[in-house]
């Protein structure tokens, strides 16, 4: 898959992640009006759209480097593909967690949905790495 297509996959995943954060920020702004919703969303945009892609590329590079310590080599492009696809694939669970954060707020339900989303991400990322390593 070309790098420009992988960048689009990553940016779509980040956009969905940003949308998923909106209900929680709206709830927090309603409960604590000292920090307005616009400021919360602005910070989320900065972190999600600008910082997270850099961290994702760094995490993919680290995964590729660490794979050289094992018998299963993972190319940098394959590491990016597995990570970016996992982020996009888990986005429905992130949307659910965002809805729970906005409608119910902090508590066991939010913790459960966030845990499920995190475990799903790790499972999909690991399955993607395993599939790409076996392909070689």
- Six-digit token pair at 122? 């790790």
Higher pLDDT, 14 or 136: 14
Residue 7: CA count within 13 A, CB half-sphere: 5
The number of domains in the chain is: 1
Range of the domain at 42: 3-135
For range 71-100, the mean pLDDT: 95
For range 70-81, the mean pLDDT: 91
Q: Which of 1, 5, 6 is nearest to 83 (CA)?
A: 6
| pTM for this entry | 0.91
Residues above pLDDT 90, as percent of the chain: 92
* pLDDT at res. 136: 58
Report the distance separating Cα 15 and Cα 56, nearest Å.
14
Is residue 25 predicted with pLDDT exceeding 80?
A: yes
């Amino acid at each position: 898959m070309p790098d420009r297509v992988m960048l689009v996959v990553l940016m779509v995943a980040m956009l969905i992640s940003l949308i998923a954060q909106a209900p929680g920020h709206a709830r927090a702004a309603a409960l604590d009006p000292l920090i307005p919703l616009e400021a919360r969303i602005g910070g989320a945009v900065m972190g999600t759209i600008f910082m997270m892609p850099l961290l994702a590329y760094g995490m993919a590079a680290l995964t590729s480097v660490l794979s050289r310590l094992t018998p299963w080599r993972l190319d940098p492009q394959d590491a990016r593909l597995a990570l970016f696809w996992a982020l996009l694939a888990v986005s429905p669970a992130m949307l659910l967690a965002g809805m729970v954060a906005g409608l119910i707020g902090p508590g066991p339900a939010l913790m459960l949905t966030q845990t499920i989303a995190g475990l799903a991400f790790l499972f999909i990322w690991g399955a993607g790495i395993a599939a790409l390593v076996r392909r070689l």
